[in-house]
Amino acid sequence: MAAPTTMGIPRDGQGGGRKPSFFGRSETGAAYILLLPMLALFACAVIYPLIDTILLSFTDMRGMAAGKWIGARNYLTLFRDPNFLTALSTTIVWTLVVTALSVGIGWGLAIVCSLAPRATLVFRVMFFAAYGVAETVSGFIWLGIFRPGTSGLLNAVFAGIGLGDWTTAWLGNVSTALWCLMAAYAWTQVGLPLMTCFASIQTIPKTLFEAAYIDGARSTSIMRYIVLPLSMPGLRVAIFINLLNALRAFDMIFVLTGGGPVRSTETIGYFMFRESMLQFKLGYGAAATVVLLLAVVVISIPAIIKRTAEAT
């Protein structure tokens, strides 16, 4: 919408010869003056890094030394590197489980909350609050919950309910660390699906429910045929955002496990950090980043199409 056709008033010769007061009246000139600072920053912070990451991924740059072009060798190495293959499968599990958990819980809560919108207002904000806490802080908090020994809350709870055998060093154990990390990350992410789905359900006109009641629909069928389909817009947005957030996650992994134990909680987003910033294999890290980028872009294709149509 908002086609600029209404702007089709002739541009020149209508100011009555009055002197332009503010930088002249050329639209093109004005546009570039307004855009220039933004474009400069955008080019520096987005375009240049994007191109440079792709170019670097074809070099063997390490540390300070300038790399030389080695073609696709980094990519060939990546897909033979057991650490990368682990990171790849960890990324898939992490992204799917975190999204399913957070969106599932958030959506369920949204439906329950919509049965009593006013009474649950404060509680919804409580769920949403975790989304506004820095991931670093959330990581610090969950570190305390998963702490080994009895000073960790989770262990204390298990000991308290007579499951003392279950206590363990949650984050130091290869079989539990990833699951703990996913639970902690999902905790931060539930608020968003709750809010978007709730907003969608609230847009359902009350008359629809009344009509359904009059026609004798049971609450299960109201749920299935009215609430579920009509909460889809919010659900779709939430799934997409949470998928993207999970794919790019870094801070919480860094604080909680640092990718360990034995690199079992490393996603690609973390793998590239370790290879490039800790082991200074910049070219190799860039190749891993390009793989992450491709995954993100593929997931985003529908959103890109939609956004392009909306913006232009």
Partner 1 sequence: MNNRGTIWIPVLVGALAVLWIIPLVGLLLTSLRPPGDITQGWWRLDNFSLTLDAWRSVWTKYPLAGAFWTSFKLTVLSTLGTMLLAPAAAYAFQFLRFPGRRLILIVIVNAFVLPQQVVIIPLFTLWRDTGLIDSLWSCVIPFVGMSFAWSVFLVKNFLEDFPKELIEAAKVDGCTPLGTFWYVVLPNALTPIAAVGILQFLWCWNSMLLPMLYLRTEVPLTVLLARVAGSFEPNLDQQSVAAIITMAVPLAIFITFQRYFTAGASSRTGGKE
Site for partner 1 in 197-256 (CB under 8 A): 199-200, 204, 206, 209, 222, 233-234, 237, 240-241, 244-245, 247-248, 250-251, 254-255
57 vs 293: CA distance, rounded Å? 12
Interface with partner 1 in residues 88-117 (CB under 8 A) = 109, 112-116
Q: How many CB atoms lie within 10 A of CB 86?
A: 16
The one among 26, 89, 221, 279 contacting partner 1 by CB under 8 A: 26
- Among 89, 136, 221, 279, which residue sits at the site for partner 1 (rule: CB under 8 A)? 136
Pick the closer one to partner 1 by CB: 97 or 130: 130
Region of 70-78, 90-98, 130-138, 169-177 interacting with partner 1 (CB under 8 A)? 130-138
Instruction: Identify which range of 18-26, 72-80, 81-89, 91-99 contacts partner 1 by CB under 8 A.
Output: 18-26
Site for partner 1 in 43-82 (CB under 8 A): 43-50, 52-53, 56
* Contact between residue 134 and residue 128 where contact means Cβ atoms under 8 Å apart: no
- According to DSSP, residue 223 is labeled I
Handedness of CA 170, 173, 177, 179 (dihedral sign): negative
Footprint on residues 276-295 left by partner 1 (CB under 8 A): 276-277, 282, 285-286, 289, 292-293
- Of the residues 32, 79, 166, 225, which one makes contact with partner 1 according to CB under 8 A: 32
Contact with partner 1 (CB under 8 A): which of 151, 175, 207, 220?
151
Query: What are the φ/ψ torsions at residue 309 (nearest 5 degrees)?
Result: -65, -40
Distance (Å) of CA 215 to CA 205, 207, 223, 228, 230 = 16, 12, 15, 19, 19
For partner 1, the binding residue among 101, 139, 178, 263 (CB under 8 A) is 139
* CA atoms lying within 13 Å on the CB side of residue 127: 23
Among 85, 126, 163, 174, binds partner 1 (CB under 8 A): 126
Q: Tell me how far apart the alpha carbons of residues 174 and 114 are, in angstroms, rounded to a whole number.
A: 40
With CB under 8 A as the rule, give the number of residues binding partner 1. Answer: 125
Of 174, 211, 262, 304, which lies in the binding site for partner 1, with binding defined by CB under 8 A? 304
What's the gap between Cα 137 and its chain centre?
Answer: 18
Q: Site for partner 1 (CB under 8 A): which residue of 13, 21, 161, 207? A: 21
The one among 7, 80, 215, 220 contacting partner 1 by CB under 8 A: 7
Residues 174-193, one symbol each (x = binds partner 1 by CB under 8 A, - = not), give -------------x--x-x-
How far apart CA 214 and CA 181 sit, in angstroms, is: 48
- Does the footprint of partner 1 cover residue 14 (CB under 8 A)? yes
Closer residue to partner 1 (CB): 48 or 225: 48
- What tokens does 227 get? 């609430």
**CA atoms of 109 and 190, how far apart (whole Å):** 9
24 lies in the binding site for partner 1 (CB under 8 A): yes
Q: Which one of the spans 2-10, 75-83, 86-94, 164-172 is the region binding partner 1 (CB under 8 A)? A: 2-10
Beta carbons of 90 and 295 less than 8 angstroms apart = no
The span from the CA of 309 to the CA of 133, in Å, is: 33
Indicate the residue among 100 and 237 with the shorter CB distance to partner 1.
237
Helices (H), the chain: 27-42, 48-56, 73-78, 82-114, 121-132, 135-145, 153-160, 174-189, 191-202, 206-214, 219-222, 228-230, 232-248, 251-256, 268-273, 282-311
